Amino acid sequence: DTGVSQDPRHKITKRGQNVTFRCDPISEHNRLYWYRQTLGQGPEFLTYFQNEAQLEKSRLLSDRFSAERPKGSFSTLEIQRTEQGDSAMYLCASSFTSGIEQFFGPGTRLTVL
């Protein structure tokens, strides 16, 4: 399967714990995006990378959130000191720089107890 993959698919954690998610984009894609999706809502943009450079972060991305893409390939999204309000589906997508179609992964569903 050469699509976008995410790991883990599900994560249950206790409030206050740190969690880290991984995204492997389509290998030829320069851009990688992170979105958050809550139940019944559309995905909300969090941040994106052009190769290894993080070029924009949404206001939704508080100081507890950090994303990296160290070698311009896979990316990680870490949430520190998780809160119940962080419970959501975290989606990763990738695209070509010049392409408008973003290819989404299956998401990581986070539940904070």
Binding site for another protein (CB under 8 A): 4, 31, 33, 40-45, 48, 55-56, 91, 93, 100-107
Q: Which is it for the CA torsion 100, 105, 106, 107, positive or negative?
A: negative
C-alpha–C-alpha distance, residues 37 and 19, integer Å: 17
User: What is the closest distance, in whole angstroms, from the C-beta atom of residue 56 to another protein in the complex?
Assistant: 7
In the complex with another protein, which residue's Cβ is closer, 80 or 96? Answer: 96
In the complex with another protein, which residue's Cβ is closer, 90 or 112? Answer: 90
- At position 33, the amino acid (one-letter code) is Y
How far, in whole angstroms, is CA 42 from its chain's centroid?
15
In the complex with another protein, which residue's Cβ is closer, 79 or 90? Answer: 90
User: What is the closest distance, in whole angstroms, from the C-beta atom of residue 16 to another protein in the complex?
Assistant: 28
Helix H or strand E segment including 50: strand 44-50
